[in-house]
Amino acid sequence: MRGARIWGRLLGLEHAVVERVEFDRDAGVVVHARPVARRRGLCGRCGKRCPRYDAGDGRRRWRALDLGCVRACVEAVAPRVRCRAHGVVVAGVPWARHGAGHTRAFDDQVAWLAAIRWPGWPRGPARARSPS
């Protein structure tokens, strides 16, 4: 499905299948996705293939890069697996780091914006000056 691939590319989703896209008044664009078959059932911490434990807490959302002026997020099931090294953990997804509430593309963008020096701007929020 060509349209699904475009949504995936817009949000930086790799190794994922976009199932459908909807618009939510509060969350904006919600892209329902799942990892491709070879990326399912992996430990969220070490990435090793593990047996499924249970369905976890159901569906989960990760904040994604905005699409113009519209917020966006990725929604997917978040089953748990039983890892020999890490015990019962949420299965990893290819679009986000373990435990993150944002996609990798979103995190990378934020890190880049925090590191760049903007002419005339104080560097980083810790050095931001309040107007006096």
Whole-number minimum distance, CB 9 to Zn ion, in Å? 29
The whole-angstrom separation of Cα 106 and Cα 12 is: 9
CB environment 86-98: b (16+ within 10 A), e (fewer) = eeebbbbbbbbee
Whole-number minimum distance, CB 46 to Zn ion, in Å? 3
Q: Residue 114 interacts with Zn ion (CB under 5 A)? A: no
Whole-number minimum distance, CB 97 to Zn ion, in Å? 14
- The pattern of x and - marking residues 64 through 83 that bind Zn ion according to CB under 5 A reads -------------------x
- Take residue 89 and report the two structure tokens written for it: 């953990």
Residue among 15, 34, 45, 97 that touches Zn ion (CB under 5 A): 45
Phi-psi group of 45: left, alpha or beta (phi > 0 → left; psi -120 to 50 → alpha; rest → beta): alpha
Q: Residue 86 interacts with Zn ion (CB under 5 A)? A: yes
Place of tokens 């020999």: 84
Residue among 46, 65, 67, 100 that touches Zn ion (CB under 5 A): 46
